[in-house]
Amino acid sequence: MPPHSDIVKVAIEWPGANAQLIEIDQKKPLSSIVREVCDGWSLSGSEQFALRYADGPQLYITEQSRSEMKNGTILRLAISPARAARQLLDRIQSHGIDARLEALKELAKLSADPTFATEFINMEGIGTLARLVESGTHFGEMLAFTLTAFLELMDHGIVSWDLISLSFIKQIAGYVNQPMVDVSILQRSLAILESMVLNSHSLYHRVAQDITVGQLIGHLQVSNQEIQTYAIALINALFLKAPEDRRQEMASTLAQKHLRSIILNHVIRGNRPIKAEMAHQLYVLQVLTFNLLEERMMTKMDPSDQAQRDIIFELRRIAFDGENDPSGTEKRKAMYTKDYKMLGFTNHVNPAMDFTQTPPGMLALDNMLYLAKLHQDTYIRIVLENSSREDKHECPFGRCAIELTRMLCEILQVGELPNEGCNDYHPMFFTHDRAWEEFFCVCIQLLNKTWKEMRATAEDFNKVMQVVREQITRALAMKPSSLDHLKGKLRGLSYSEILRLRQSERMSQDDFQSPPIIELRERIQPEILELIKQQRLNRLCEGSCFRKLGNRRRQEKFWFCRLSLNHKVLHYGDLDESPQGEVPLELLTDKIPVSDIKSVVTGKDCPHMKEKSALKQNKEVLELAFSILYDPDENLNFVAPNKYEYCVWTDGLCALLGREMGSDLTRSDLDTLISMEMKLRLLDLENIAIPEAPPPVPKEPSTYNFTYNYG
């Protein structure tokens, strides 16, 4: 008898026959198992058959994937991938329109299967589909299914995009440029063009020639958010792959076409909630837009360049009305030195030297000039207000502006590529054509205000910058909808409020350090840990939705996982779309007994993070990855949608396995809830009447209904 772990009990279906309940020996060749199944139904030619899953994506089972079969799986006997590919290829070339439509519909579904795709591609199937598109004779559903199958097949990476013909590209571009075209055809055409741009340098140039930016922007003004998402994704792809010398030109064209205001009015302020993929594309566009600043950020000032020096002269002229300069060279030089000191530059003699460090390089000077010209009253007020002070509390404008520019570049990650899966876009940056410069102008006023509130001197410079960074990051985390909204948030984050927040957040760490209080804390901790454990397990029972990796984001493929109410089984399965509520267990076809789980691993120790892929180098994805390892040598891989879900799931799984919960979220919750409980108990003690009152009744452990907003 083979070991129990090598036996999988499954049901196998065949149309018109009773299902077979069999035990599959995983050590036996798959061809032998198929032969036995065929013999059970008296079917000859077992080499023409294969096994597929009956539920979900209904993928073919191969020697490489057979280990994924679980006890209780329902399979289906089907014609082999090679035979299915040959039949479909013949049918899509038939003269009968109805037969061809049904064949293309089935092909669109089967093309997601890598085993079938390999067989179909080996039969020159992609060339056949390309010729059908190039002919221009297919419309409606038939064309939509053709494009879907083509995209699915190409997505497997078996065939290079460089082999695509120019006539095919022209035809696809034509569908995008047409004013009226079927929505499903437009979606697939945009997706195909995006893949061309991202996967082929040569095709980027061809697509950039055939697609007009104006037409893409036109697709943003429709009511269909899917079309809007595909259009922004293609704009982002063209932006990302454009040569450096073309990006500024493309940005100017997009500005002339009012891309920002169209996105603001038709997408961000539309009547529909922003879906995850749209949020990601807006984030990517935001990152790519800010990355246009990288060249200036990394450009050092040339002290010998007169044009650059003239910008500094202009800053001085605006601040001090330098039209009445003295005629003598020495007097003029002495006045300039005095003025540059009042402007807050570190090098009073040659302030150009202040801009030789990168980052922020010349970007800091650009910001200062924008403030001086576009917000002249604010600029003059800040400079003169500080230059007239004699108590060593003056805020050095030049030094502050340079350091603030560097800080903003770090906060907004200027020069870094977009992170896969990140949705962190800020609506306010779509409300102004010069959003970066306006953001700087708001922040430099905040810095000046905070400097005064702290009564800082030059020695406190770094402390002030730390407070300002905290004010800005806290305000950004609130997602202000406009620059005016940002100003309001920053007004509420004064220096005194930052101190209050810091004190409140440190309370669990710094307060209650006397021995009796420490003892009370140690007594309370097990109760609170049990409370947190139950909350984590309850969240696992509710379940969470995860996005599938390795698929095109635009297809929004998801899967769902949840724990059974008795905490004995993890149920999971694929979904067509992100669920709006709880997913019933009946819809989750796969399961893992908790007793089979060996361990939970995170980050780079996860099997799917060790694979060779673009995601491997993505720090953000790596920080959200975790895997369940279970018998015999299987794994279930996750990438959490955010840090909160990551902490909840990793903590919950540790609690499920009887191990210590160690995430930052648990430590934060533990400190917060213990502090709350201790305050309640200490408050009771403070209210005791002395000496006549009887001893207080010990307070029962509190129970909290707590939720999180994990940044």
Q: Does 19 score more than 50 pLDDT?
A: yes
Contact status, residue 374 vs residue 368, Cβ threshold 8 Å: no
pLDDT of residue 390: 65
Q: Give the pLDDT band (50/70/90) at residue 323.
A: low
User: 604-635 b/e with 16+ CB inside 10 Å = b?
Assistant: eebebbeeeeebeebebbbebbbbbbbeeeee
Mean of the per-residue pLDDT values of the chain: 87
Asked whether the beta carbons of 72 and 9 are under 8 A apart, the reply is: yes
Q: Is the dihedral of CA 138, 139, 141, 145 positive or negative?
A: positive
Residue type, 489: K
The pTM of the full predicted model, rounded to 2 decimals, is 0.74
Checking if the pLDDT of 693 tops 60, the result is no
The tens digit of pLDDT for each residue in 381-412 reads 999 988 777 668 889 999 999 999 999 999 99
Res 691 pLDDT > 70: no
3-state class of 21 per DSSP? strand
Q: Which one-letter DSSP state was computed for residue 567?
A: S
Q: Is 66 exposed, middle or buried (0-12, 13-18, 19+ CB in 10 A)?
A: middle
Q: Exposed, middle or buried, 402 (CB in 10 Å: 0-12/13-18/19+)?
A: buried
The topology under which CATH files domain 524-665 is PH-domain like (2.30.29)
**Percentage of residues in the chain with pLDDT exceeding 90?**
63
List the one residue out of 622, 629, 630 whose CA is nearest residue 646. Answer: 622
What tens digit of pLDDT does each residue of 81-97 get?
999 999 999 999 888 88
Q: Kindly state the average pLDDT of the residues 130-140.
A: 89
What are 329-372's pLDDT values in tens digits?
677 788 888 899 999 999 999 999 999 999 999 999 999 999 99
Contact 138, 132 (CB under 8 A): yes
CB 624 within 8 A of CB 646: yes
Residue 711: predicted pLDDT: 32
* CATH fold group of domain 5-78: Ubiquitin-like (UB roll) (3.10.20)
Q: Which helix (H) or strand (E) holds 395?
A: none
User: In this predicted structure, what is the pLDDT of residue 574?
Assistant: 87
- Of residues 456 and 699, the one with the higher pLDDT is 456
**What are the pLDDT digits (tens) for 214-253?**
789 999 999 999 999 999 999 999 999 999 888 888 999 8
482-504 pLDDT, tens digit each: 999 999 999 999 999 999 888 77
Q: Which residues contact 698 (CB under 8 A, 6 or more apart)?
A: none
Sketch the domain layout of the chain as residue ranges: 5-78, 163-272, 296-319+326-503, 524-665
Q: Which residue has the higher pLDDT, 556 or 48?
A: 48
Average pLDDT rounded to a whole number, residues 672-690: 58
Q: What is the pLDDT of residue 697?
A: 39
Q: Provide the pLDDT confidence category of residue 682 given band limits of 50, 70 and 90.
A: low
Q: Is the pLDDT of residue 257 over 50?
A: yes
**Average pLDDT, integer, range 166-191:** 93
The DSSP symbol for 265 reads I
Place of tokens 């002919």: 135
* pLDDT score of 267: 95
**What distance in Å separates the CA atoms of residue 227 and residue 268, rounded to the nearest whole number?**
15
Q: How many CA atoms lie within 13 A of 136 on its CB side?
A: 7
Residues 6 or more apart from 129 whose CB is under 8 A from it?
92, 146, 149, 150, 153
Indicate whether 706 pLDDT > 80. Answer: no
In the predicted model, is pLDDT for residue 4 greater than 70? no
**pLDDT tens-digit map of 627-638:** 999 977 788 999
Q: Tell me the mean pLDDT in the region 622-647.
A: 87
Among 140-149, 426-435, 616-625, the range scoring the smallest mean pLDDT is 616-625
Q: What is the mean pLDDT of residues 136-141?
A: 85
